[in-house]
Amino acid sequence: MEIYNDAKNYNNRMFDFGFNAETAPTKNVLGVIENEKVTMVEYPFNGIGVRKIMKGFDAVDFAIVEELGRSKYLSSIQIYQYIRLRGLYVSRDGIRNRINKFLKYRLIREYVLKNDELTNGLRFYDLDVKAIPIANECKVIFNRGNRIISEYKKQTENLYDTAEGIKRVVVGNMIILGLLMNGVKMKRFGILETMRIKGSTDAKNVIIRTASNVHIDDESHILYEVVRNTPDALDNLADKVSRYYKIVNDKDYKENNYYGYKTVPQLVICGETYEHNLRIDKYLREVGLYSEKDTIMYTDDLLYVQATLKNLYVLDETGNRTWYALPTQ
């Protein structure tokens, strides 16, 4: 098992959430807003070599590279939370100072998400190409989901992520952090990984990539698909749900899936709010993507900034919720 996906390396004992739980957010800031744009903040060129930079690194510095490498996009508070869950002590100001240092060295990139009506936007970070040798030395595993793409390649091949795409990944990380901070029993977690039958190349039939996933135990594996309220989101979700059901009903999946899981996964859709999930559920029923046997579950953003394990629910056709809780350690 990859070290940065192994849940036993993250412990919530004596953990600092980074905010006052009594004043946890009541408004979802990770929903997509109208005319939202992504701007990368430009920093001056820095010619200091990676090896020289690494000589001044401590355990927290290396951990920042490792967490961003696996997680693709993180906010500053998410970086802080992952680092503290690993048992490394650093303050919020300390993380801010290290982020500024990394930006100066051009090891990470900073993105601002906002529309023209906002003065300040949301800031998220990913690794820049200069950090690849550090990540490789730390044995970070990259795939098509979390790979580092240069600005040149993004520009020439139009590979820029939208605000929706970035927020989808950030929410996937928020789900994992919420589960870790609340002491959910799990073996492994992943970000932007694919569920697929080993050796197959038919992506439309057997591959599904979700924002995050959690392997609870040999009997329970959960896929979290994050959906934002955008015009194309429901059609894109329908395609993913149809592929999910092909996996669920594939007789070879249990024997030949890539990660060796013994059961088929449970799909959980994370909408922006409960009301958003009602619209999603209604749509899936209308297009024939509802199964009584393999029921899709739901969750929503604000359930992961609270001290609760009761964060999954099933919707009936009238919109009533039946709640479920994940097991504790």
How far is Cα 204 from Cα 239, in angstroms, rounded to an integer? Answer: 9
Q: What's CA 86's distance to the chain center, in Å?
A: 18
Task: Give the residue numbers spanning the domain of 144.
Answer: 32-161
Q: What is the pLDDT of residue 204?
A: 45
- Which of 107, 130, 161 represents a domain boundary (last residue)? 161
**127 inside domain:** yes
Pairing outcome for strands 212-217 and 188-191: antiparallel
Residues linked to residue 122 through DSSP beta bridges, in sequence order: 113
Q: What is the pLDDT of residue 24?
A: 63
Residues linked to residue 141 through DSSP beta bridges, in sequence order: none
**26 inside domain:** no
Q: What is the pLDDT of residue 253?
A: 83
- Residues contacting 184, CB < 8 A, separation 6+: 214, 216, 309, 326, 327, 328, 329
Q: Are 125 and 169 in contact (CB under 8 A)?
A: no
How far is Cα 224 from Cα 267, in angstroms, rounded to an integer? Answer: 6
> Do residue 196 and residue 112 come from a single domain?
no
> Do residue 153 and residue 171 come from a single domain?
no
Q: What is the pLDDT of residue 196?
A: 83
- Which of 140, 161, 182 represents a domain boundary (last residue)? 161
3-state class (DSSP) for residue 162? coil
**6 inside domain:** no
Residue 234 sits in a domain whose CATH number is 3.40.91
> Do residue 282 and residue 174 come from a single domain?
yes
Report the greatest alpha carbon distance in the chain.
61
> Do residue 152 and residue 169 come from a single domain?
no
- Which of 116, 146, 161 represents a domain boundary (last residue)? 161
The three-point CA angle 185-270-87 to 5° equals 40
Q: What is the pLDDT of residue 93?
A: 96
The structural domain count of the chain equals 2
**Ranges in the chain, pLDDT < 70:** 1, 13-25, 199-206
**Each residue of 98-109: pLDDT tens digit?**
999 999 999 999
- Residues contacting 291, CB < 8 A, separation 6+: 245
How far is Cα 71 from Cα 83, in angstroms, rounded to an integer? Answer: 12
Pick from 106, 86, 97, 139: nearest CA to 40 = 106
How far is Cα 111 from Cα 226, in angstroms, rounded to an integer? Answer: 20
> Do residue 315 and residue 196 come from a single domain?
yes
**78 inside domain:** yes
Q: What's CA 170's distance to the chain center, in Å?
A: 5
How far is Cα 147 from Cα 69, in angstroms, rounded to an integer? Answer: 8
> Do residue 144 and residue 182 come from a single domain?
no
Q: What is the pLDDT of residue 261?
A: 84
> Do residue 177 and residue 109 come from a single domain?
no
User: pTM to 2 decimals?
Assistant: 0.94
**Each residue of 251-303: pLDDT tens digit?**
878 788 888 888 889 999 999 999 999 999 999 999 999 998 899 999 999 99
3-state class (DSSP) for residue 220? strand
